[in-house]
Amino acid sequence: MRIALVYPPTSELNLKGYPLGLAYLSASLKRRHKVDIYNYNGCEFRKSLSSFFSSVKQTKPDVVGVSFNSFNRWGAYKIIKGVKKINKDIIVVLGGVHPSTMYGQMFEYFYDHIDFIIQSDGEEPFYQLCNALESGKDYKNISGLVYKDGNKSFKANSVTEKVINLDDLAMPDYSYASRRIKDTGFAYLITSRGCPVNCSFCSTSSFWGQNIRMNSPERVGGGGGLC
């Protein structure tokens, strides 16, 4: 399948960063699928949206995966509303902290515009979903999947399969950010997921789990590349 992964722009924060979630998802999906990445973090709002919609028209993806947090949700909403206007058969999947936590609201607002939401770690569930859609197999048991169940209702599977050992994940695919890495002279990496504390204002424990999973020192420092 051809999958477009997009990180929507925000009109409020102008960080020229690149989200690591896309790099991890891409590495996982590329085991079987073709992936195009569109990172609009720190890019001009309107231009980014029109550039994305032109690319969708041109490249005709089977699936659009929208990755967002609360601060770039307005850009995400524009994208969500636009994709099925281009082609109603494109499957729209949401993931990241905001839709994962607010999946009820997402289905309430965008029932006709979205197909699936994946909660928490996305690598394996998204890969399994794309494989199932491609081969016409059942997807209803995928861990953390939220899917439509007819007549404006939906079902949310519990997150039953987390990545226990982060070293098992494919090395993140930073290819989409190589230009920014060269220009800025630095690169991001992340070496753990979760937190044993549970501060009321923070989503980390509810999203990743109230425990901590870490990469090994060998994976972080010994890979000869970015972890």
User: Which of 35, 39, 62, 42 lies closest to 51, judged by CA?
Assistant: 39
Residue 15 interacts with ligand SF4 (CB under 6 A)? no
The secondary element (H helix, E strand) that includes residue 49 is helix 45-59
Q: Which of ligand B12, ligand SF4, none does residue 45 bind to, with CB < 5 to 8 Å depending on kind?
A: none
Residue 8 interacts with ligand B12 (CB under 6 A)? no
CA Rg value for the chain: 17
Exposed e or buried b per residue across 169-189, where buried means at least 16 C-beta atoms within 10 angstroms of its C-beta: beebbbebbeebeeeeeeeee
- Which of 105, 198, 211, 216: binder of ligand SF4 (CB under 6 A)? 198
The secondary element (H helix, E strand) that includes residue 162 is none
* Cβ–Cβ under 8 Å, residues 54 and 46: no
Residue 131 interacts with ligand B12 (CB under 6 A)? no
Span interacting with ligand B12, options 83-91, 107-115, 120-128, 144-152, rule CB under 6 A: 120-128
Q: Which of ligand SF4, ligand B12, none does residue 114 bind to, with CB < 5 to 8 Å depending on kind?
A: none
Q: Which residues bind ligand B12 (CB under 6 A)?
A: 10, 13, 15, 17-21, 24-25, 41, 65-67, 69-71, 93-98, 118, 121-123, 126, 188, 190, 202-204
